[in-house]
Amino acid sequence: MTKLKLIKDSKQDEDPLLKAAGKLFRQKGFASTTVREIAGAGGMLPGSLHYRYATKESLLLALMEQGITQAINAVRSAIAASRDPIERVRLALRAHLRLLIHEDDTIYVLLYEWRALSGEARETMVRLRDRYDALWDGLLYEAAGTGRLRTEIDLKLVRLSTLGAVNWVAQWYSPGGDLAPDEIADTFANNLLHGILAEDRKE
């Protein structure tokens, strides 16, 4: 009973305050956003905000924790659609990019506001982020296990370069552009998997 409630609570996360904070942190950055702005956007005054979140940083931490949870859930549910390890990597890439690009701001904040976390909060987030990285490493390990990957490649570097490329999309993507998130993700996956040289291909 209590367990069920916990799961339910952690799932919805429809706090308008967090939502407003996420939007503002993404637009202007954590340091340039004031608690007055957040409170205002959430429909209240600074004094009320501090009743629920003691400090500005606790707001950031809550946002980031929500972000990493959503990322893990999104990837897990996306990869369930296929049993082919290579295809699962592609699906995971799509899920990650979709979350970063779409309305949800938590992933963006998670990725780009690490500097604003101090000490303790940062350690908490590092542990959570490690889990997400482990999820990816598992996916890549499975892919390598098929024997279809070049044996000399460094899986950790593959993860870092691939997620790096995808995370950077947030810097240049504009919703009005001619490329849909899934197209971008697939192109990235394609270039990564097959390379861009023609001469290396079998035909």
Partner DNA sequence: GTCTATACTCTGATAGAC
Partner DNA sequence: GTCTATCAGAGTATAGAC
Q: Does 56 bind DNA (CB under 7 A)?
A: yes
Q: How far apart are CA 79 and CA 54, in angstroms?
A: 38
> Can residue 122 be called a binding residue for DNA (CB under 7 A)?
no
Partner that binds at residue 7, options its own copies, DNA, none, CB closer than 5 to 8 Å by kind: none
Among 9, 47, 147, 154, binds DNA (CB under 7 A): 47
- 132 CB neighbour count, 10 Å cutoff: 18
Residue reference for tokens 């849909």 = 180
* Torsion angle defined by CA atoms of residues 125, 131, 133 and 137, in that order, rounded to the nearest 10 degrees: 170
Judged by the rule CB under 8 A, the positions of this chain that interact with its own copies are 27-29, 31-32, 86, 114-116, 147-151, 153-154, 157-158, 160-169, 171-172, 179, 184, 187-188, 191-202
The CA radius of gyration of the chain, in Å to the nearest whole number, is 19
Work out what residue 73 binds among DNA, its own copies, none; the CB cut-off runs from 5 to 8 Å by kind: none
Tokens encoding 37: 């702005």
| Residues 6+ positions from 135 with CB-CB distance below 8 Å | 72, 75, 76
CB of 144 to its own copies, least distance (A): 9
Structure tokens at 173: 């993507």
Nearer Cβ to DNA, position 22 or 85? 22
Question: Smallest distance, Å, CB 158 to its own copies?
Answer: 6
92: how many CB neighbours lie within 10 A of its CB?
23
Least spacing, CB of residue 67 vs its own copies, in Å: 15
Question: Contact between 172 and DNA (CB under 7 A)?
Answer: no
What is the closest distance, in whole angstroms, from the C-beta atom of residue 201 to its own copies in the complex? 5
Q: In whole angstroms, what separates CA 164 from the centre of its chain?
A: 11
Site membership for DNA, residue 54 (CB under 7 A): yes
Binding footprint of DNA on the chain (CB under 7 A): 33-36, 39, 43-48, 50-52, 54-57
